[in-house]
Amino acid sequence: MALAQPGYLALLAVVLAMAAAAVWLARWRRRARERFAGPQAQRWPASPFWPRTVLMLGAATLIVIAAARPQWGEREVRRERQGVDLVIVLDISQSMQATDVEPSRLGRAQEQIVRLVEAERGNRIGLVFFAGTAIVRSPLTTDALALAQLVERADREAGLTRAGSDIGAALRQAGRILEASESDGKAVIVVSDGEDHAGAYADQARALHENGIAVFAAGVGTPDGAALSDRTITGQARPKLDAAGRPVISRLHEETLRAVASEGGGRYIRLGDDDLSSFRDDLAHLEQTPLGQELQKLPVERFQLFVGAALALLVLGWLLPARLALPASRPFRRLRPYPGLALLALVLLIGACGSDPLHEDNARANRLFAEGDYEGALAAYEELIAQRPDVPELAYNAGNALHRLERYARAVTETRRALPPSESRLGAATYYSLGNHYLALDRFEEAYEAYKSALLLDPGDADAKHNLEVALLLMLGAQQPPDGAGQPPDAGQPPPGEGTPAPSDSGQPGASPTQTPPADATPGAPGSAPRTLEEALRGIDRDFTFEEAIEILELLRQQQAQPLPGPPSLSTEPDY
């Protein structure tokens, strides 16, 4: 058995204090009874103090264990994955030991790569180390944990390569990994200080780009550089000297890395001014390929068993009679509740189990979103997604934050993680947001499909109907929409209607927005137009005629003229 929040076990100290108080109270009651009644006190009916106290202490102990969230067993979560194939090329040459950045160039690179690998869990990632020669440390894999461990051990694997630095050889190895890939989106990220002794890097980067592989480069170090050190046999560091006896200074060669990125069709950044996570937007713009199902095993929460047992003990203690020996003629006269200790245990239950860390963290991220700190909200959502990828609301929220940051391609990638919908209302909002992202990217057909899916889940969504009209008109190539249809959304602004929905405050599986009442299916009744619209939408494929589009628009206008529920919005009040 594992405990998700073992810190709550500290509350057992409160249970011990309660037990000590019960012992003191029992002794005080016995002395008071003897002083009051003397020897006759021994003939009094036995009090249920100790049975009731033991039950209450047992319930409190179970409540504390429940608050620590015991887990055993596993459940499988399967999700469709889309992504790109990525190879990370890491320089492990001696110059990467320079300390012009903290803790060292290699240490900074390792930290950044681990964060990128954890963030790009949906992609297949390979790993190449290089110095004078290049070695493949991992083929394409989705095992983020194994990749992170390999990167963290990179500083101990310099002996696997020859001395020197050959970026071209590393790019050649990366190309060999990707040449067997059938994915449309392929990329290489080179993390190095730019030192190169072979001069083949530009040709190799150009060859990769011609094969449909984008090459990005990240420089680590400073132009001023730092002195290099050698290690003696005893492990002591001494300055490395050149032939003239002067200290060897290693500098960041940005011109080399800029040439790699330019020839490879990518871009260059310097770690420190930027970080590797900024490449996630570039990766999202590459062609996303279905990578099959992602299987994740999550522990099963078992706190419900302990809470149920605790409540049973409290109820049993509540129903114990005031005296254990009762007259047979009047069995219920002395039955009276003894609520004091039970209420104390219930307070402990509320205090221990009343807070859900996932809900609290998601609410904190939602506050950042509401305050306009979209970068902070995005970082918080992504951290939560790494912990709980099975919660679709988190991916939905991350997509909305990315939309506000105008990173529409990544917004599409994140929002799709919330699909297929597990609940119709949240599904409608997710498809609506997905349509907004596509519309901002001028991908009108995909926006149309997303809005159509939103309407099939929630026919009363007036904003989705409005945006669907815009998408249809843009697909038909109309220069101006008709009166009342609105203008196409500006790329930097939320799309028409409600815009990007506010983030969901639901941070727990099963929590859902308010349900929309079902429409009446009787012909001629107020609900008949949504049903006709649904049938029409299902009957249209992507190659439709102008007359069919006009018919759809007419059905939309008929439905908008009827009293319908309001636009989809997720509650901003906590659900639990």
pLDDT per residue over 468-503, tens digit each?
Answer: 888 888 887 743 444 444 344 443 333 333 444 444
> 273 burial class (0-12, 13-18, 19+ CB within 10 angstroms)?
exposed
In a domain, 296, yes or no: no
Q: What is the CATH number of the domain that holds 543?
A: 1.25.40.10
Element (H, E) at 575: none
Place of tokens 């008109």: 473
Mean pLDDT (the chain, rounded): 76
pLDDT of residue 460: 86
Q: What is the pLDDT of residues 296-328, one digit of tens each?
A: 677 788 888 898 898 888 888 777 665 544 444
CA geometry: angle 180, 186, 190, nearest 5 deg:
105
Tell whether 241 and 173 lie within a shared domain.
yes
The beta-strand segments (E) located in 102-144 are: 124-130, 134-141
Query: How crowded is residue 307: how many other Cβ atoms within 10 Å of its Cβ?
Result: 19
Q: Round to whole Å and give the CA distance between 186 and 85.
A: 5
pLDDT tens for each residue of 18-60: 889 888 988 887 777 777 766 766 665 556 677 888 888 888 8
Tell me, yes or no, whether 112 lies in a domain: yes
Q: Are residues 322 and 200 in the same domain?
A: no
Backbone phi, psi, residue 14, to 5° = -65, -40
Instruction: Tell me what the mean pLDDT of segment 85-110 comes to.
Output: 93
Residue 168 inside a domain? The answer is yes
| Residue 558, φ and ψ in degrees, nearest 5 | -65, -40
Instruction: Extract the tokens encoding 165.
Output: 């630095």
Give domain status of residue 571, yes or no. no
pLDDT for residue 262: 95
Of 6-10, 76-80, 439-443, 493-497, which range is least confident? Answer: 493-497
- Does residue 142 sit within a domain? yes
The per-residue pLDDT for 42 is: 64
The pLDDT value recorded for residue 142 is: 84
Q: Are 208 and 188 in contact (CB under 8 A)?
A: yes
Backbone angles phi, psi at 77, to 5 degrees: -120, 120
The reply to whether 408 and 536 lie within a common domain is yes
Residue 261 in any domain: the answer is: yes
Residue 244 sits in a domain of what CATH number? 3.40.50.410
What Cα–Cα distance (Å) separates residue 32 from each residue in 27, 37, 44, 58, 322? 9, 9, 13, 27, 18
Domain match, 509 and 378 both: yes
Residues 230 and 147 reside in one and the same domain: yes
Longest alpha-carbon distance in the chain: 112
Same domain flag for 196 and 121: yes
Q: Which residue has the higher pLDDT, 230 or 364?
A: 364
Asked if 138 and 185 sit in the same domain, the reply is yes
pLDDT, tens only, 328-337: 434 444 444 4
Instruction: Residue 342: name the closest of 62, 60, 65 by CA.
Output: 60
Q: Do residue 97 and residue 6 come from a single domain?
A: no
59 occurs within a structural domain: yes
Q: For residues 367 and 347, state if they share a domain.
A: no
The pLDDT of residue 409: 87
Tally of domains in the chain:
3
pLDDT of residue 48: 66
**Predicted confidence (pLDDT) at residue 236 exceeds the cutoff of 70:** no
Mean pLDDT of 79-88: 80
| Residue 77 binned pLDDT confidence (cut-offs 50, 70, 90) | low
Structure tokens at 409: 């391609």
Q: What is the pLDDT at residue 476?
A: 79
Pair (90, 170) in one structural domain = yes
**Per-residue confidence (pLDDT) for residue 431, from 0 to 100:** 92
The span from the CA of 79 to the CA of 274, in Å, is: 32
Q: Residues 347, 422: one domain? A: no
Contact 59, 310 (CB under 8 A): yes
Is residue 94 domain-resident?
Answer: yes
Q: Which one, of 338, 314, 221, 313, lies nearest residue 269 by Cα?
A: 221
* Domain match, 63 and 182 both: no
pLDDT digits (tens, 9 = 90+) for 454-476: 998 888 888 888 888 888 888 87
Lowest mean pLDDT among 10-19, 29-38, 269-278, 360-369: 29-38
Mean pLDDT of 410-428: 84
Average pLDDT, integer, range 256-278: 93
Q: What is the pLDDT of residue 232?
A: 58
pLDDT at residue 221 in the model: 94
The encoded tokens of residue 85 equal: 């194939």
Residue range(s) defining the domain that contains residue 552: 357-560
